[in-house]
């Protein structure tokens, strides 16, 4: 049987070459439709959602366990493991092929199982078990270190040895389209003596990828590179909203707390690790050589274009403010996961790992406003004469990402968030 990643595959459903969701992608999400049924599991194909629960009801898809696709989250499916993920993806691909009459010629089933994306509501695709955020782009860490530390020695001594991270909040991970209320917090600019409490004045985004963990690891056990790889179910776009002024005052000595806890937005479709296989590349050379437990042999980075658009309340069209690539990451997602479990920390199905802000070497590849506006000193000029250093109420931020194949793309859709006033 042809592999679901084969670039020559075609679906009987017409898919535009510029679409994020050709038959080679098949990302998983949770949706509800106008039928009034509860949110359940679906797969994006072109501008339709394929209802996996309907296929299961019709006897076309057998996951081996009841209720998995009727769940309002992907956790029960992910828990079944990589062999089941591969088998089900291959079966969905088979059902959608242009030369397979099973679904193509069954008008009744097509009507039940294929829903136009315009008619669905997309939900948070996983119950987030735990959320951890890393700091793994050397360009980002260098930019931040140059601004706040030392131009000649911007990286802290541990940075080249450890994938730096902190434990974030799973309670405020939200799906694309959820409005983000401007956070409140303690503010103490360097020029005042005592802190005050009020709305954040330096609200920022961070362009990141989120890794969705689909398999658990036991407390007390370390992971090999291959074990970590096989625990990764897929990836989403992730916006790690950040309150820079709150962060500046609170982060010493334990790291970010409230500055990052008020909202984290993710895209609704989880693109599987398997669909991204053709786009794997080696990451940057690592010097000094990491400690043995962190060494990697495989190509664990991905050649993936990432885009950020900003639209203020006054603008009709969004303006692109960043275009970068996931391949630049110094520490790979596999190394982050190996490190995460290295103390004996247990990982759970539904854990979410933020890659850390993804910046590249060029100025237009900076993945946060902190870097784009160089800590507020270089405002962005927007069409219509507006300027931005940090986000204002009414601003909408959209992130997109895709891997470009020959005549098709494996895309993520988008993650959008609009800022609303603190009170």
Chain residues binding Mn ion by CB under 5 A are: 133, 206, 240
CB of 184 to Mn ion, least distance (A): 20
Residues ≥6 apart with Cβ < 8 Å to 395: 310, 311, 312, 313, 388, 418, 419
> Which candidate in 98, 123, 140, 340 is catalytic?
140
Please, which residue, 206 or 395, has the CB nearer to Mn ion? 206
Please, which residue, 227 or 375, has the CB nearer to Mn ion? 375
The DSSP string of 177-208 is T--EEPPEEEE--TT-SS-EEEE-SSEE-BEE
Please, which residue, 133 or 250, has the CB nearer to Mn ion? 133
Please, which residue, 206 or 365, has the CB nearer to Mn ion? 206
> Closest residue to Mn ion, Cβ-based?
240
Residues ≥6 apart with Cβ < 8 Å to 216: 231, 346, 347, 348, 349
User: Which two tokens mark 173?
Assistant: 């991970």
* Closest by CA position to 142, among listed 371, 378, 324: 371
- Does an H or E element contain 164, and which? none
Question: Please, which residues bridge with residue 323 across strands?
Answer: 307
CA 269/CA 48 separation, integer angstroms = 13
Q: Are 352 and 132 in contact (CB under 8 A)?
A: yes
CB of 138 to Mn ion, least distance (A): 15
CB of 193 to Mn ion, least distance (A): 30
CB of 255 to Mn ion, least distance (A): 11
CB of 145 to Mn ion, least distance (A): 15
- Does an H or E element contain 301, and which? strand 301-302
140 in catalytic set = yes
* Closest by CA position to 139, among listed 300, 365, 316, 294: 365
Please, which residue, 120 or 358, has the CB nearer to Mn ion? 358
| Residues involved in catalysis | 140
């Amino acid at each position: 049987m042809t592999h679901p990643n084969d670039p020559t595959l075609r679906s009987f459903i017409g898919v535009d070459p510029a679409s994020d969701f050709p038959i080679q992608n098949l990302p998983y999400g949770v949706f509800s439709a106008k039928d009034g049924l509860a949110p359940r599991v679906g797969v994006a194909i072109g501008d339709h959602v394929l209802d996996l629960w309907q296929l299961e009801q019709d006897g076309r898809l057998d996951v081996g366990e009841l209720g998995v696709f009727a769940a309002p989250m992907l956790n029960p499916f992910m828990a079944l493991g990589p062999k089941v993920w591969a088998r089900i993806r291959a079966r969905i691909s088979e059902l959608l092929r242009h030369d397979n009459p099973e679904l193509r010629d069954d008008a009744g089933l097509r009507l039940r199982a294929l829903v136009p994306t315009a008619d669905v509501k997309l939900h948070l695709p996983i119950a987030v078990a735990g959320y951890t955020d890393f700091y793994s782009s050397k360009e980002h860490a260098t930019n931040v270190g140059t601004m706040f530390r030392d131009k000649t020695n911007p990286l802290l001594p541990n940075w080249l040895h450890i994938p730096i991270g902190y434990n974030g909040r799973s309670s405020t991970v939200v799906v694309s389209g959820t409005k983000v209320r401007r956070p409140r917090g303690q503010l103490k600019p360097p020029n005042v003596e005592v802190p005050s409490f009020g709305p954040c004045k330096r609200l920022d985004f961070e362009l990141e990828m989120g890794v969705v963990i689909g398999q658990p690891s036991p407390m007390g056990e370390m992971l090999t590179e291959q074990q970590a790889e096989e625990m990764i179910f897929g990836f989403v776009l992730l916006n790690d909203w950040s309150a820079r002024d709150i962060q500046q005052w609170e982060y010493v000595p334990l790291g970010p707390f409230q500055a990052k806890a008020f909202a984290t937005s993710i895209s609704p479709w989880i693109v599987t690790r398997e669909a991204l296989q053709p786009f794997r590349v080696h990451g940057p050379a690592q010097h000094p050589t990491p400690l043995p437990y962190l060494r990697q042999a495989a190509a664990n980075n991905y050649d993936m274009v990432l885009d950020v658009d900003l639209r203020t309340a006054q603008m009709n069209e969004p303006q692109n403010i960043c275009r970068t690539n996931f391949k630049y990451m110094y520490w790979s997602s596999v190394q982050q996961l190996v490190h995460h479990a290295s103390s004996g920390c247990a990982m759970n199905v539904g854990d979410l790992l933020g890659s850390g802000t993804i910046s590249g070497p060029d100025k237009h590849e900076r993945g946060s406003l902190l870097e784009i506006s160089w800590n507020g000193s270089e405002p962005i000029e927007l069409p219509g004469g507006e300027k931005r250093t940090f986000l204002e109420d009414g601003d909408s931020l959209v992130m997109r990402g895709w891997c470009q194949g020959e005549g098709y793309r494996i895309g993520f859709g988008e993650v959008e968030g609009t800022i609303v006033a603190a009170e």
